[in-house]
C-alpha cells in the first residue's frame, strides 16, 4: 500500500453501526417516567447510544414522526455537531425532545405557567407528535438551539425507543430529521444509512415510523390566546380544534386555531424563524419535483399534452425515468399506460385519497424510494388539504421546484 493510500485509509470515517431495537420490549409503567426494557439487546443498544450522547456525540433514533439526529440539547458543543453533520444553516432552530414533564420544567422560566389551552393540548397529545413553543430559560437552553430566539420548541415523543433513549440519557435531546439538510426526511433506518453512513456512529433501528411526517408546531404565546400552527404535521388542525372545543367548553372564549400562510401571514417569523421548516426549502430529493394541481385550478392543460411537451424540450436520446406519486384512486394511473414512448414510469402508490394518514405515512418513503431507483424527475399529484393532507401539501410545496395545473 502506498503512503498516500495509507493516509487515506486512516482518514476514512468508520462505518455507521445499526443497532436493532424491539419496540415492543419497551414500556413506561403508569405513573413513572422510567422505562422497563424486557429485551437485553434493546437495553444494551439504548445504553450504548445514551453513553455516546453523554460523551457529546450524535446518535440517530426513531420517533413516531421521522428518524431524528440527536445530541444533548443543553450542550452547545454537542448541538453544534448536528449542524455540522446535516449541513444545517445556523439560523434554523432545533426542536428539543423530553421524556417527562419534570425534564421540561428547567427549560422554561421559573415563573412561567401553562395557559389553559396548552394544558389541554399537552394532556391530549403528549407524548406525541405535537411541538409547543415556550419561553426559553436563557440560563439553561443554549442560543444555538433557538437560533438566538427567546423561545424554545419542545415535544415529548411517543415512540418507545425515542422516549426511552431520552430517559436513559437523563437529558433533553435536540433532534431534527436525520438527513442532509434540505432532503426528504427519513422514515426508515435504511433511509438514514444511505444518507449519513460514516457521519454518525450509531443508528437505533426501531422499524418504520408510524406517522411519516414531522410534528405539528404550535405557538400559543400571543396575547390574544389563539393557537398558531407554524408547521402542520402529525397532529391535525382538526384534532387540535376538537380538543379545545371539548376540554375548554366551560371557558368564555375558546382559542382559534390559525394556520400560517392559510389563515394569517407573518413575514418576520419567516425571515427569522422560531421553529424549523419555515424559512428554507426542505424535503427535496436529488432530482426535480413537479407538483400536479388536479383539483382546484380553472386553467389547466391535458396531462398527456404536458408530458409530450416535457419530452420534446429537449428531445431525450433515451427513455426518461419519471417517478409518479399519487393516490390509489387517482385517474393518473390510467393515463400512464397510454404514454409509453420515451418514458419509463416508476409508480409509488400513496394510498386511497380518503385516507390522509396513509398518504402522510407514504410520502417521504416514496420520495426516497424513487430517488433510490434513479428516476430523472418526479411528479406528485396534489391531495385535499384536510386533516393530514394539510401537512402533506405543506411538504410537497416545499419539495417541488415547479407547479403545473393539469386535467385527465
DSSP codes of every residue in 245-307: HHHTTTSS-PPPEEEBTTTB--HHHHHS-SSTTSSS--S--SS-EEEEE-SS-SS-EEHHHHH
Burial grade of 334 (CB within 10 A; 0-12, 13-18, 19 or more): exposed
What per-residue confidence (pLDDT) applies to 12?
52
CA distance 381 to 163: 35
What per-residue confidence (pLDDT) applies to 252?
82
Residue 342 region, left (φ>0) first, then alpha (ψ -120 to 50), else beta?
left
- Residue 246 CB coordination number (10 Å): 11
Report H helices in 17-57.
40-54
What per-residue confidence (pLDDT) applies to 280?
59
Mean pLDDT of 209-227: 96
Question: What are 222's three cell numbers?
Answer: 400571543
Please give the CATH architecture assigned to the domain spanning 11-205.
Answer: Alpha-Beta Complex (3.90)
Please provide the average confidence, as pLDDT, over all residues in the chain: 92
Mean pLDDT of 18-33: 95
In CATH terms, the fold of domain 289-407 is Rossmann fold (3.40.50)
Q: Where in the chain is CATH 3.90.870.10?
A: 11-205
Mean pLDDT of 197-202: 96
On the question of pLDDT at 207 being above 50, the answer is yes
On the question of pLDDT at 7 being above 60, the answer is no
Mean pLDDT of 200-225: 97
> What DSSP element (H or E) covers 174?
strand 173-174
CA–CA distances in Å: residue 335 to residues 3, 280, 365: 58, 34, 24
**Number of helices and strands in the chain (H, E):** 14, 19
Q: Where in the chain is CATH 3.40.50.11030?
A: 289-407
Amino acid at each position: 500500500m502506498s503512503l498516500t493510500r495509507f493516509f487515506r485509509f486512516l482518514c476514512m470515517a468508520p462505518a455507521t453501526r445499526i443497532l436493532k431495537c424491539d419496540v415492543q420490549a419497551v414500556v413506561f409503567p403508569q405513573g413513572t417516567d422510567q422505562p422497563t426494557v424486557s429485551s437485553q439487546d434493546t437495553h444494551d443498544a439504548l445504553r450504548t447510544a445514551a453513553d455516546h450522547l453523554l460523551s457529546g456525540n450524535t446518535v440517530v433514533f426513531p420517533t413516531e414522526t421521522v428518524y431524528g439526529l440527536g445530541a444533548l440539547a443543553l450542550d452547545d458543543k454537542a448541538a453544534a455537531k448536528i449542524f455540522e453533520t446535516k449541513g444545517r444553516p445556523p439560523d434554523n432552530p432545533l426542536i428539543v425532545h423530553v421524556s417527562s414533564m419534570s425534564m421540561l420544567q428547567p427549560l422554561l422560566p421559573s415563573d412561567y405557567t401553562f395557559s389553559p389551552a396548552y394544558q389541554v393540548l399537552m394532556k391530549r397529545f403528549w407524548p406525541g407528535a405535537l411541538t409547543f413553543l415556550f419561553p426559553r430559560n436563557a440560563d439553561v437552553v443554549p442560543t444555538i438551539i433557538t437560533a438566538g430566539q427567546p423561545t424554545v420548541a419542545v415535544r415529548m415523543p411517543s415512540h418507545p425507543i425515542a422516549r426511552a433513549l431520552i430517559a436513559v440519557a437523563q437529558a433533553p435531546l435536540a433532534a431534527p430529521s436525520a438527513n442532509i439538510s434540505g432532503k426528504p426526511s427519513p422514515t426508515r433506518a435504511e433511509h438514514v444509512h444511505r444518507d449519513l453512513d460514516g457521519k454518525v456512529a450509531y443508528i437505533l433501528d426501531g422499524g418504520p415510523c408510524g406517522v411519516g411526517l414531522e410534528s405539528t408546531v404550535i405557538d400559543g404565546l400571543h396575547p390574544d390566546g389563539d393557537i398558531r400552527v407554524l408547521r402542520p404535521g402529525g397532529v391535525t388542525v382538526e384534532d387540535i380544534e376538537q380538543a379545545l372545543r371539548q376540554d375548554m367548553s366551560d371557558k368564555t372564549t375558546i382559542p382559534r386555531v390559525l394556520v400560517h400562510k392559510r389563515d394569517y401571514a407573518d413575514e418576520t417569523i419567516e425571515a427569522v424563524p422560531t421553529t424549523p421548516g419555515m424559512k428554507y426549502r426542505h424535503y427535496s430529493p436529488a432530482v426535480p419535483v413537479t407538483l400536479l394541481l388536479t383539483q382546484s385550478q380553472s386553467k389547466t392543460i391535458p396531462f398527456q399534452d404536458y408530458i409530450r411537451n416535457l419530452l420534446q424540450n429537449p428531445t431525450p436520446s433515451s427513455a426518461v425515468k419519471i417517478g409518479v406519486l399519487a393516490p390509489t384512486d387517482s385517474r393518473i394511473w390510467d393515463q400512464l399506460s397510454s404514454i409509453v414512448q420515451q418514458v419509463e414510469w416508476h409508480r409509488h402508490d400513496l394510498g386511497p385519497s380518503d385516507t390522509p394518514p396513509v398518504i402522510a405515512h407514504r410520502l417521504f418513503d416514496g420520495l426516497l424510494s424513487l430517488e433510490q431507483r434513479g428516476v430523472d424527475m418526479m411528479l406528485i399529484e396534489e391531495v385535499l388539504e384536510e386533516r393530514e393532507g394539510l401537512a402533506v401539501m405543506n411538504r410537497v410545496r416545499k419539495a417541488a421546484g415547479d407547479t403545473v395545473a393539469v386535467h385527465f
